[in-house]
Amino acid sequence: MTAYRGTFLPFGMPSIGDEEITEVVDSLRSGWVTTGPKVKRFESAFAEHIGAGHAIAVSSCTAGLHIALTALGIGPGDEVIVPTLTFCSTANVVVHLGARPVLVDVGDDFNVSPAAIANAISSRTKAIMPVHYSGQACDLQAIYDIARQHNLAVVEDAAHAVGSLYNGGKIGSSSLFRALTGGSVVRSATVFSFYATKNMTTGEGGMIATSDDDLAKKMRLLTLHGMSLDAWKRYSSAGSWYYETVLAGYKANMTDIQASLGIHQLQRLDGFIEVRQRYAEMYDEAFAELPEIKIPVKHPDRNHIYHLYVVRLNVERLSVDRAQFIEDLKARNIGTSVHFIPVHLHPFYRERFGYRRGDLPKAEYLYDRIISLPLYPRMTNADVQDVIAVVAEVARTSRRVDLPPREPRAGLSEGRS
Ligand SMILES: Cc1ncc(COP(=O)(O)O)c(C=O)c1O
């Protein structure tokens, strides 16, 4: 075993700069440690950056998804279509509302299959929750066409997709929404995550974007106990002690401490994405040479902002399984992860809804093969080279000896659709 690295390379790490630190300290000194002027500044800057009609800051993407579904009136007896290859929170929020998450399969690009969505629609279906997996947008036109035909709401889980483009339009922007709906009425919200490993971070946090004025008003109320709109100001000289509770809302507001990070992370977002894309290109080039590895599928009408760089092991050519491959990388000081264990395979979803292995075969096939490699701007070129060298070594040393040495370059032909 070659010792490429003396220290462990974590799977993910944020890039927090001096501006973020100074801004957080400023909030701490100012006394505005909860929702205040910096949250408002962050919301405006975010709305402008994305081109969103409304941007509502929340304590997490999970809270934002929950609030969007609540505002859309999802409840007991309803069904919501969710891809199974996602983080559990996408489906959990549906369960919180007493509705049923109908889990569906994905395609070769890891994103939800529009055909699977269409097949899953019943008279109880109320909404679709596409997940822009790893930072490449779903086939949004097909999804919005289905939503329009069946009068369904769309709540986009854009946890991975702050800065992702579909047909040149930013995910969450009003212009993209107009292009997708052609002016028809589709109730829709897009929810981003600023969790520590995401393309930009506020520690924990999220943002809801929508073009729908009524929905925006309701969602804003729901983020802070359903208290009338300016209640967050009630302890400042600009505020008043009087407020009214008009809905039984949640406690899902963002703090000024989080927004302090967000304001500066947003300014650095395009630069972060560029670095991720450059490193992803280095991975693509190196792994295209390895028959044991398939690189991510990319679509020409979308960009990929690489919140995750997910390779597929060609396990048929390996003498080890995915779990062992991960252990072998770890033994050589490379941290990795797996995104995701399909939701339908988790005990809660098996027991509550009766899902079993075999129900959603494409996601299961992918799950057995995927590994998310480290990819973040805080990595150096040398770190990326270490990952490449270690992956190549593990692939080489776990190659099955009973197979011919090469097969056609599957990574290139299948990897760049
Ligand atoms: C696809 C997806 N949806 C939702 C979430 C939840 O985001 P948050 O941690 O901000 O609640 C995540 C978090 O990793 C995610 O990956």
| Burial annotation 133-158 (CB, 10 A radius, 16+ → b, else e) | bbbbbbbbebbbbbbbeeebbbbbbb
356-375 tens-digit pLDDT = 999 999 999 999 999 999 99
Cβ-contact 192, 61 below 8 angstroms? yes
Q: For residue 126, give both structure tokens.
A: 């109320």
The verdict on whether 198 is a catalytic residue reads: yes
Is the CB of residue 131 below 6 angstroms from any atom belonging to ligand 1? yes
Cβ-contact 61, 39 below 8 angstroms? no
Is the CB of residue 188 below 6 angstroms from any atom belonging to ligand 1? no
**Nearest-atom index, ligand 1, CA of 339:** 16
Cβ-contact 273, 279 below 8 angstroms? no
Average pLDDT score, the chain: 94
- Give me the catalytic one of 198, 218, 251, 362: 198
Is the CB of residue 61 below 6 angstroms from any atom belonging to ligand 1? yes
Report which of 265, 135, 114, 106 is spatially closest to residue 200, judged by C-alpha positions: 265
Does residue 407 have a pLDDT over 60?
A: no
**Nearest-atom index, ligand 1, CA of 63:** 11
Cβ-contact 100, 129 below 8 angstroms? no
Closest residue by CA, ligand 1 atom 16: 87
Is the CB of residue 159 below 6 angstroms from any atom belonging to ligand 1? yes
Report which of 200, 307, 204, 220 is spatially closest to residue 263, judged by C-alpha positions: 200
Is the CB of residue 89 below 6 angstroms from any atom belonging to ligand 1? yes
Once rounded to an integer, what is the mean pLDDT over residues 101-116? 98
Confidence of residue 413 (pLDDT cuts 50, 70, 90): very low
Residue 127, beta-bridge partner list: 80, 153
Is the CB of residue 258 below 6 angstroms from any atom belonging to ligand 1? no
**Nearest-atom index, ligand 1, CA of 340:** 16
Q: What is the pLDDT of residue 29?
A: 97
Once rounded to an integer, what is the mean pLDDT over residues 256-272? 98
193, 204, 223, 339, best to mutate for ligand 1 pocket (most atoms within 8 Å of CB): 193
Q: What is the pLDDT of residue 237?
A: 80
CA of 255 to the centre of ligand 1 (A): 19
CA of 94 to the centre of ligand 1 (A): 14
Which of 73 and 4 is assigned the larger pLDDT?
73
CA of 182 to the centre of ligand 1 (A): 29
Confidence of residue 228 (pLDDT cuts 50, 70, 90): confident
CA of 131 to the centre of ligand 1 (A): 10
134, 195, 198, best to mutate for ligand 1 pocket (most atoms within 8 Å of CB): 195
87, 90, 132, best to mutate for ligand 1 pocket (most atoms within 8 Å of CB): 87
Kindly report whether the peptide bond that precedes residue 340 is cis, defined as omega within 30 degrees of 0: yes
60, 61, 94, 199, best to mutate for ligand 1 pocket (most atoms within 8 Å of CB): 61
CA of 122 to the centre of ligand 1 (A): 27
CA of 347 to the centre of ligand 1 (A): 19
Listed in sequence order, the residues at least 6 apart from 100 whose beta carbon sits closer than 8 Å to its beta carbon are 78, 79, 80, 94, 124, 353
CA angle, 197 then 202 then 208, to 5°? 95
Is the CB of residue 340 below 6 angstroms from any atom belonging to ligand 1? no
Does residue 57 have a pLDDT over 70?
A: yes
Is the CB of residue 84 below 6 angstroms from any atom belonging to ligand 1? no
299-321 tens-digit pLDDT = 999 999 999 999 999 999 999 99
Confidence of residue 69 (pLDDT cuts 50, 70, 90): very high
Please report, rounded to a whole number, the percentage of residues in the chain having pLDDT higher than 70.
96
Q: For the purposes of burial, counting CB atoms within 10 Å of the CB of 180, is it exposed (0-12), middle (13-18) or buried (19 or more)?
A: buried
Closest residue by CA, ligand 1 atom 8: 61
CA of 135 to the centre of ligand 1 (A): 12
Residue 101, beta-bridge partner list: 80
Cα–Cα distances (Å) from 218 to 110, 235, 374, in that order, read 33, 23, 39
Once rounded to an integer, what is the mean pLDDT over residues 320-342? 97
Q: Are strands 125-128 and 79-83 parallel, antiparallel or unpaired?
A: parallel
